Structure 1
């Protein structure tokens, strides 16, 4: 903190003295337009026939002081739910869009793919402060327009960094709240130097003790940029990094045997108990408590941590040679390295780590062990887009060339049986039990065109070709039984190629405040790494395909607006877990021939007074598997038209916004209907519906003169009615005779929390 303040004050002094530097007037609108060219290729055009939500800079700026990860902001738009493992919105965070998981949601930053090429995920664990760096976000639900990177099966999210500031500024922010959660940051811009150059930067971080025990963590991000502005072009280099060390709770909250709901677990006083830290035991009064795991010297196991560092480098050039033509090219390189460290208690060392040691009775030795599993990632590529636009045509073409090289590795750093440590550990005090390399090449090209005719009609076509090649080899972190009864590492030998053609077409009509549209889109998607590595010797899943039909109408009046978007997404060979386990004990995934998601997304808003507005949105849906076989041991359960897991039929958001002079206050109530934790549609394995309310308030004091320009005070009150509920969960099922058993785990939301913040702008 001291270091941040010193840097910030130095920047302030520099900015105040900058009048001595030569500057010229710059067309700020032109700067903003050139910045928008960077993301134009991956965003839907104004009249595109898709369901779109836009988040502007002011909303991102306000959200950045909360410390929460961006999915919590996205979930204010239709059809999205978000949750974090620690229960308060920081640290390891996830989202689903139209019921689709994060690996099926395409995310780009300034047109560069952010999804991890292998897992196809964006890990929202160290990106909480990106909100302070962004100028806008566009969320496209469904397949949407062509974008770079992985196929969008639930939707796509386009993040755009803010345009370089031609006027100097500096800003300091600080927030503090419940569970010792803090968020702090600084940002600045030199403004225009020497008529052409802008240097800007930012640093933000968040830390918390977490609602769930053992989820203490710290994460953050930094940004540094150089921009050269010409008359009709800009060259910009951006270095964006993020880091995290967060406590994990991936076992979720699980109660003692016999508990059936998170509410029951919470009422027992165990609602924050993280079973990665210990086991349930009873005290002398018969009450359950969590007894911590310990090392052999009696020291308690602290926590399971995830540790990751990532650095993005983007060098882009944007050129507008004429009124109708624009070009954008970007070279990018991303480096990532991380690991997680956790304790496995009383596990067979042979089954888990390939250490085939037996006791005197001939049984494999079980012991506690600490494992460290990590990876290294390198992704680099080229993005190029060209756009032509006049009164009738808006045509964009582009290519995306990306190569990924990665490695996966795992070590044991502790075994409770000291003799085995001495036997197997190397001179560095660890034992390597797996090591594999991976390569993925992702090349795509697209052209999309919108044509306006008869003043009000617009037709749209979008054609994309994508080639994906994935290879991985080496030793996996799973072990199989050999003919001698010992366990040996599973060898990986994957070499798959995919060629996808993804066409899209639509039509829209606009007249005054009216807009109506219809579209059909086709998208394909390759399996994730886990679909290969966890299937053991079973066949790998095949590609998935979805056909997305969208039909919508919107009206915007003087002080109100309303809209409805209908969709039907028909999946072919959707990959899903079946309940089976492979010969290495992992959950098997397979292609389900027919499934679908259908629904309507509603939006409305009314501003009866200049200082008061009411907003709302709703996503109502059905999400079905037409024919599904669930395997649990020797039992096979067949379901006709069962509901897809983690797909609530109703997600509602309501907002009441009061704004007068410098004061702003927003009331937000969110409702999520019940959802099932597997595909059986059983009431015994569901998460109950929940509703919760937040209030956000702020007051801005504007000042004049060189130095401090404004002071903004804010207060965030979350879950004001102190509701305790589970946002997400999982089920582990088995049969005892003919009786099905279930073991449920829950991701809880914290009760009432609050965060106060202050922002100083110079």
Structure 2
């Protein structure tokens, strides 16, 4: 028997020795983003493979033995491992960005990674470009969790808005290369001032909740962290044109030298977007450029960015009155725009918003040692522009003038046109120092000092009657100044399968503004605020692809310009404070990638929207003592087959104010009538938000995708349609609507096809059909209820969104 066994083994030995095995897996970066086109190689034997668009690779035909496997990707530090093969092996690699080639130190200092106890979504350049047909940047983020987008012009070109977890743009922190973009005074982010910035973006991270410490205003709903163009090793030229509904056209040229002499690169873009808009006279004429030059040293990078945007948009910030939008007999009942209409029925042709904004950034990254790296930036932004408005029957006393007497006639009112100017400067420095003393421990020290100076003034440029107004008469002026300093430190410590996170930020703000004193006179005032924002979290790693986390964070946020200037010292608004609790589970596999997140956001003195807009379309706000947002978010993507992927997001939440009182004006006796509610919904906060994308690639280079979005009903104010006791709403007018936005479901279709021909690197053809089922819906609105004749009358305005429309595009790349 012994001899028989030895004989059988001798016969099988060549078979065993010649058995073929494989090494396969996935390559990602530190944030969990897959790296398509990365190389995995073995030197002996000489075997290599590249990762596909899912970051997956496979090395096949390997005999049993020990191999040295190397994973590499341009801009990342290669990783080498020794792998013993006696069966099929799964080996995943996580590559770390190389400091001086990827220029991500400034950006990553304020970003979350795949093990951070923070809810976030990463969007790559490819994710952004496949949806970039010319709409404003918020629309390119529409498929991310808890996001609601709106458009004043109805089709996404011109002024747009974004809300995350029900929080409007003034609570969403936006940075570009780590530099604050939110307006220092209004705190909003106006992407219309940077048209087609998406064509110069390398990647975006959208965080939800307080998130990591960052520069600029605190994040109450979320943050949008943008990184612009980075290094490309080969030269390129892209020519892109889009055309579609409402005479919408987009033309873009992108050029780049690639790496010259291993040291230098220059990239540039020139764009123009024009559109008539879905809403009447809501036209846009947008121009922009982006130029970036970089020097790459052995351990450092110096990059200079200059980019600019010029926008001229016809005003459409009022919305459509409810009695018009509900009257189907009117041909323009969904597109009516009352702004700029003169008494003769014609439209004032220059009822526009005209603004130019120039940005200058100097970014420096330095690898000091293997454990220490530094990043710093100098920035300067110059903005100047105006709103021009026609005003019929304006009282001359409102403009600091006395009535003019002509014989027996007295000119007390006149039709006029005015320009309200904003002339501002924003400049400062940001920095980040990253220290990794051990492989399981790292520290980040960062911060910024920024200063803003803004002049607000108004001129009368035309009057119908001779009212004694000199040419270009300046009727008001308001100079503002704001200093913003912050410093933060963050540490991450890995203990086996547990990662501990700690993050602390100190922020100091000084703001000088013109506001009302106790005697209701406008005088220069100031406010100084000091905020401490601690954060802590823990992550447990089941394995490389699965983890659970919990975090607690405190955020503080200052009032904005309108909050201050419309108050007196006695009624000055209070800063907001947020206690944010987050817990979740994340998984990443070849077939499914996604996660689930629970949040509880407890506010003190939240500045909630009242539902009304001021005279330039900005929402009015008021403090409430106690309020909260609580919910659950889901985000997932299934790669069902090589050709078919299915993605979905969903947010279910409750958003409440405790003990809220709203007052309605009684026009009969000029009194205020209270509505007291022990618990009520926060305005503009839908309880259910969902999105989905089904993408199928029938042929190589081709894709057809169905995109869906559902938003549940939301209230325009904080009363849940409750009226004061004894004052019912009017019921005999068929045009009356409650103070709410109805829920809506919208579907879009996107088609893309890429192919190459001789002497052309790639030709991309695209078509996007929006709202394919031709739904009529409104994504935003405003309300001004009062009491007339013993009944509540709702004066509602709605922002109707475009019915079925399309955009087509072609991009030629050399």
TM-score normalised by structure 2 residue count: 0.82
Q: Secondary structure at the match of 1:271?
A: coil
Q: 1:20 matched to which residue of 2?
A: none
Measure, in 2, the Cα distance between the counterparts of 1:126 and 1:240. Answer: 11
Q: Which of the numbers 330, 349, 354 marks the counterpart of 1:307?
A: 354
1:34 aligns with 2:68: no
Matching of residues 343-362 of structure 1 within 5 Å: 343-351=390-398, 353-357=399-403
Distance apart, 1:457 and its partner CA: 1.1
Measure, in 1, the Cα distance between the counterparts of 2:164 and 2:611. Answer: 24
Q: Which of the numbers 762, 783, 786 marks the counterpart of 1:734?
A: 786
Measure, in 1, the Cα distance between the counterparts of 2:350 and 2:142. Answer: 29
Distance apart, 1:444 and its partner CA: 0.6
Q: 1:403 matched to which residue of 2?
A: 451
Distance apart, 1:220 and its partner CA: 2.9
1:710 aligns with 2:789: no
Q: 1:286 matched to which residue of 2?
A: none
User: 1:351-406: per-residue Cα shift (whole Å, max 9, x none)?
Assistant: 3x233327899998233221100111111111110112342012111120111111
Distance apart, 1:60 and its partner CA: 1.4
Q: 1:688 matched to which residue of 2?
A: 742
Measure, in 2, the Cα distance between the counterparts of 1:717 and 1:580. Answer: 33
Paired residues of 2:100 and 2:301 also in contact (CA < 8 A): no
Paired residues of 1:618 and 1:652 also in contact (CA < 8 A): yes
1:699 aligns with 2:744: no
Change (3 A) 1:145 1:742: same
Change (3 A) 1:408 1:317: same
Q: 1:287 matched to which residue of 2?
A: none
Distance apart, 1:703 and its partner CA: 3.3
1:338 aligns with 2:385: yes
Measure, in 2, the Cα distance between the counterparts of 1:459 and 1:175. Answer: 48
Distance apart, 1:45 and its partner CA: 2.8
Change (3 A) 1:631 1:236: same
Q: Secondary structure at the match of 1:211?
A: coil
Q: 1:275 matched to which residue of 2?
A: 338
Measure, in 2, the Cα distance between the counterparts of 1:587 and 1:219. Answer: 25
Paired residues of 2:513 and 2:565 also in contact (CA < 8 A): no
> Where in structure 1 are there 5+ consecutive unaligned residues?
1-25, 279-291, 483-488
Change (3 A) 1:147 1:213: same
Moved over 3 A (4+): 26-34, 262-269, 358-364, 576-582, 586-590
Change (3 A) 1:494 1:579: farther
Change (3 A) 1:651 1:264: farther
Q: Secondary structure at the match of 1:531?
A: helix
Alignment root-mean-square deviation, CA: 2.5
1:122 aligns with 2:189: yes
Distance apart, 1:199 and its partner CA: 1.3
1:446 aligns with 2:488: yes
Change (3 A) 1:369 1:499: same
Paired residues of 1:70 and 1:127 also in contact (CA < 8 A): no
Distance apart, 1:577 and its partner CA: 5.4
Measure, in 2, the Cα distance between the counterparts of 1:387 and 1:57. Answer: 26
Q: 2:684 matched to which residue of 1?
A: 646
Paired residues of 2:460 and 2:473 also in contact (CA < 8 A): yes
1:143 aligns with 2:210: yes
User: 1:27-70: per-residue Cα shift (whole Å, max 9, x none)?
Assistant: 54447853221301111133110100111110112233x11001
Change (3 A) 1:263 1:581: closer
Measure, in 1, the Cα distance between the counterparts of 2:149 and 2:537. Answer: 30
Matching of residues 569-718 of structure 1 within 5 Å: 569-576=601-608, 589-633=621-665, 634-659=672-697, 660-682=699-721, 684-704=738-758, 707-718=759-770
Paired residues of 1:578 and 1:631 also in contact (CA < 8 A): no
Q: 1:463 matched to which residue of 2?
A: 504
Q: Which of the numbers 448, 467, 473 marks the counterpart of 1:431?
A: 473
Higher CA-based Rg: 2
1:511 aligns with 2:542: yes
Higher alpha-carbon deviation: 676-685 or 202-211: 676-685
1:326 aligns with 2:398: no
Q: Which of the numbers 414, 420, 432 marks the counterpart of 2:462?
A: 414
User: 1:705-741: per-residue Cα shift (whole Å, max 9, x none)?
Assistant: xx42111111111111111111100001111143111
1:366 aligns with 2:413: yes
Q: Secondary structure at the match of 2:192?
A: coil
> Where in structure 2 are there 5+ consecutive unaligned residues?
1-72, 77-97, 666-671, 723-737
Q: 1:472 matched to which residue of 2?
A: 513
Paired residues of 1:384 and 1:399 also in contact (CA < 8 A): yes
Measure, in 2, the Cα distance between the counterparts of 1:354 and 1:536. Answer: 21
Q: Secondary structure at the match of 1:63?
A: coil
Measure, in 2, the Cα distance between the counterparts of 1:743 and 1:299. Answer: 25
